[in-house]
Amino acid sequence: MIAYLYIVAWRLIRFLPLKFVIFVFSKMALKAYDRNPKGVVNLRRNLGVVTKLSGIELEKLVKLGMISYARYWAEAFKLPSISDKRLDEMVRIEQSNRLIDPTLSKQGVVVALPHLANWDLAGRWFAKRTGEVVTVAERLKPEKLFDAFVKYRRSIGLIALPANDRSTVTELRAALEAGKLVALVADRDMSSSGIEVMFCGEICTMPSGPASLAYATDSVLTTACLFNEQDYLGGFIDEPIYIDKSLPRDEAIRMATQQMADRFTSYVTSHPTDWHVLQRLWKIHA
């Protein structure tokens, strides 16, 4: 049933004005806030860690966070039907050459980012400039829903490989060795092999994938910050992260992953309401 609803939404919402879709989705987000399901509870806990706020001030951020999350979905459902001209009006990312230039010279790039604002929108914008963007998608159930997400992302220039499949790492390495851009949302560890890091002042685990792939393929490793402005998606691409290969491999990857976490801390604390993590993250909430 859920898969059917998503597929119908992708087919129908593209014919509606984006502002209207965002308005409707925002109203739905506030109703979800009022019901206070598990996702909202987790978002409240997470934003409490990020901002150190509580009470009324924290609740204001949680509401804004749910509205921002609704904007992500509204834009996602509209994204396949948005023209290239409109796309350029909707996205303003500084230092984008840090991702584009290496791929034009056939050097692989791994860009890691937290769940900030609309990474799909940014992905389509970069795919237009680099040919395609390779990423990883969490395998959803039912299978029909996962297939719909893969098809959707392919329609906007994103090649989404299933997480936890044995072949995925091999395909990601091949993409990097071919000089492609690999984008990985990396602030939430969905594996059993994450690296323990300090993030926003608390301990959690983050995936080793971005640093491991860059280490193995001599690719550029960097991070991106995205945030919502009223009428566009803003953001910037940060400087490359240095991976010290004079160190033992595991230590070099651990240090690079902690550098990612440090940057994510800066990004998320600067734009807390655009950070969409509605799952448990830190050890203190285990």
Helix %, strand %, coil % for the chain, to 5?
55, 20, 25
pLDDT of residue 192: 67
pLDDT of residue 148: 78
Residue range of the domain that includes 183: 2-285
Q: Mean of the per-residue pLDDT values for the chain?
A: 93
Q: What is the pLDDT of residues 208-246, one digit of tens each?
A: 999 999 999 999 999 999 999 999 999 999 999 999 999
pLDDT of residue 5: 65
Residues in the chain: 286
The structure tokens listed for 66 are 């749910």
pLDDT of 1 strictly over 80: no
Question: What would you report as the CA-atom Rg of the chain, rounded to the nearest whole angstrom?
Answer: 18
How far apart are the two ends of the chain, measured CA to CA in Å?
Answer: 31
Q: How confident is the model at residue 165 (pLDDT cuts 50, 70, 90)?
A: confident
Q: What is the pLDDT of residues 21-42, one digit of tens each?
A: 999 999 999 999 999 999 999 9
Spatial CB neighbours of 89, under 8 Å, sequence gap ≥ 6? 232
- Give mean pLDDT, residues 150-176: 91
Number of domains within the chain: 1
Neighbours of 104 (CB within 10 A): 12
Neighbours of 259 (CB within 10 A): 18
Q: Which amino acid is at 28?
A: M
164 or 122, which is more confident?
122
156 or 5, which is more confident?
156
Distance, CA of 259 to CA of 39 (rounded, Å) = 28
Omega cis (within 30) before 142: yes
Q: What is the pLDDT of residues 62-115, one digit of tens each?
A: 999 999 999 999 999 899 899 999 999 999 999 999 999 999 999 999 999 999
The structure tokens listed for 129 are 């400039």
116 or 4, which is more confident?
116
